[in-house]
């Protein structure tokens, strides 16, 4: 069947930005489709007995939510092998994108996280200011291009390592798009990063060139970091997550003198959010494995007299803390608020169990993957922690990604 075109009735959305159909009883995961549509799709992978994969090549019966793709380079009019990746929801009207993301989030949290409807009822994926006016474009302050054998830069095609030449980058901010060297050649290089931080204008990072420091801004606060270091991509994401964490921390459970923790702390964004919310005397330790990020975090958090930035792998650091804490430290840990913002794969069983073992008063979990979040929520539940509050944000318009912030407590 591989390479064959078939007609499919698309029924639901799945995690990862793909839709679900059935062919002779077999599940088929279909790209570039919308639930409710009938499409012609090309089978791209028939090796599994339980499911196949396919790419939409034309639409027989279109959803009312289908629109012209915001990026011609990713349009259904192109051969699937030459569609630019990174805008897999660009053919869907923005409100329905958010509804599909909500469905994925709620399904993961109820089916895998075992949350009941009282927690997930009323959840919506919140838009960021200005995104609707721009059709979900012009939000990326950072973008990575890959370089093909000829030296031409471009994005990878969806679900491949094929570099696709493009003429524009509509999800990028205007400053990033203007700086992107789409017509230049870079023989011998593998990738090019373009970023437009809050201060200093747009810049390129070609290959492994020496790092420089850039400055980002959240409200009146300034953060320094390496130009290649991690920072939220959406122009308003850092501000949005700062406000969300401040909103979800329960002040009745917060003790500024406790051993509060910021795990996977990066350059100190969320530790600063907590410090700004509860005052300069707040005690909080930010833990990050990247020593350069830790150095920057120490600078960014220096005005809080109780703030500390340490370098360490979270799973090892929290394990040592849990096993060596004195009686006095354990009492301060029991009163603590733990903020964690793990990578897309989530915190995982070891970290969740170690956090739960120190029995903090509350946990604020920032997640960029709903399935990883649901898995970790279920693990926390085994140790007596339940989700009390939940917010979700559309930090990645025209893609399947979303960001979720939850509060857990005993």
Structural domains in the chain, sorted by start? 5-66 (2.40.50.140), 99-131+234-409 (3.40.50.150), 142-216 (no CATH)
pLDDT at 167: 97
| Cα separation, 202 vs 195, whole angstroms | 6
Please state the rounded mean pLDDT for residues 17-37: 96
Q: Which of 322, 334, 295, 324 is nearest to 311 (CA)?
A: 295
Look up residue 118 and give its two tokens: 């009282």
pLDDT at 117: 87
User: Considering Cα of 117, then 119, then 121, then 123, what sign does the dihedral take?
Assistant: negative
pLDDT at 46 over 90: no
Per-residue model confidence as pLDDT tens digits over 213-230: 999 999 999 999 999 999
User: Which candidate in 59, 84, 192, 368 is catalytic?
Assistant: 368
pLDDT tens digit sequence for 180-239:
999 999 999 999 999 999 999 999 999 877 789 999 999 999 999 999 999 999 999 999
264 annotated to bind ligand: yes
> How many CA within 13 A on the CB side of residue 159?
14
Tell me, what's the pLDDT at 237? 98
Instruction: Judge whether 385 is annotated as a binding position.
Output: no
Beta carbons within 8 Å of 224's beta carbon, 6+ residues apart: 213, 214, 215, 216, 267, 296, 299, 300
For residue 159, give every residue at least 6 positions away whose Cβ sits within 8 Å of its Cβ, in sequence order, or none.
31, 85
Query: Is 388 a catalytic site residue?
Result: no
224 known ligand binder: no
Residue 154: the pLDDT is 98
Is position 341 annotated in a ligand binding site?
Answer: yes
- Give percent above pLDDT 70 in the chain: 100
Residues 118/382, Cβ–Cβ less than 8 Å: no
């Amino acid at each position: 069947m591989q390479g064959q075109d078939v007609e499919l009735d698309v029924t639901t959305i799945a995690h990862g930005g793909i839709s679900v159909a059935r062919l002779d009883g077999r599940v088929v995961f279909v790209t570039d489709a919308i639930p409710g549509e009938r499409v012609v799709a090309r089978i791209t992978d028939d090796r599994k007995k339980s499911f196949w994969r396919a790419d939409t090549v034309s639409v027989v019966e279109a959803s009312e939510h289908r629109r012209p793709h915001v990026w011609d380079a990713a349009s259904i009019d192109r051969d699937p092998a030459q569609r630019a990746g990174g805008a897999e929801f660009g053919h869907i009207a923005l409100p329905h994108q958010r509804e599909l993301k909500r469905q994925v989030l709620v399904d993961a949290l109820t089916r895998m996280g075992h949350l009941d409807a009282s927690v997930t009822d009323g959840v919506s994926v919140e838009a960021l200011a200005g995104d609707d006016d721009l059709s979900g474009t012009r939000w990326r302050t950072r973008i990575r291009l890959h370089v093909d054998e000829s030296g031409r830069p471009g994005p990878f095609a969806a679900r491949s390592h094929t570099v696709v030449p493009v003429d524009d980058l509509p999800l990028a901010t205007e400053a990033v798009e203007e700086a992107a060297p789409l017509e230049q050649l870079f023989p011998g290089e593998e990738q090019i990063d373009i970023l437009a931080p809050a201060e200093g204008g747009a810049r390129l990072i070609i290959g492994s060139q020496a790092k420089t420091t850039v400055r980002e801004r959240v409200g009146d606060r300034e953060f320094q970091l390496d130009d290649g270091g991690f920072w939220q991509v959406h122009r308003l994401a850092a501000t949005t997550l700062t406000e969300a964490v401040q909103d979800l921390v329960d002040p009745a459970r917060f003790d500024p003198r406790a051993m509060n923790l910021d795990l996977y702390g990066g350059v100190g964004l969320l530790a600063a959010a907590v410090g700004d919310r509860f005052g300069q005397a707040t005690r909080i330790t930010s833990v990050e494995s990247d020593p350069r990020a830790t150095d920057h975090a120490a600078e960014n958090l220096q005005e809080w007299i109780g703030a500390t930035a340490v370098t360490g792998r979270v799973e090892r650091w929290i394990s040592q803390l849990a096993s060596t804490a004195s009686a006095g430290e354990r009492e301060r840990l029991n009163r603590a608020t733990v903020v964690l913002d793990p990578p897309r794969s989530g915190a995982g069983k070891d970290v969740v169990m170690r956090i739960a073992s120190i029995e903090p008063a509350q946990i604020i979990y920032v997640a960029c993957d709903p399935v990883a979040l649901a898995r970790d929520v279920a693990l926390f539940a085994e140790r007596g922690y339940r989700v009390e509050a939940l917010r979700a944000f559309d930090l990645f318009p025209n893609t399947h990604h979303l960001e979720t912030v939850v509060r857990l407590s005993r």
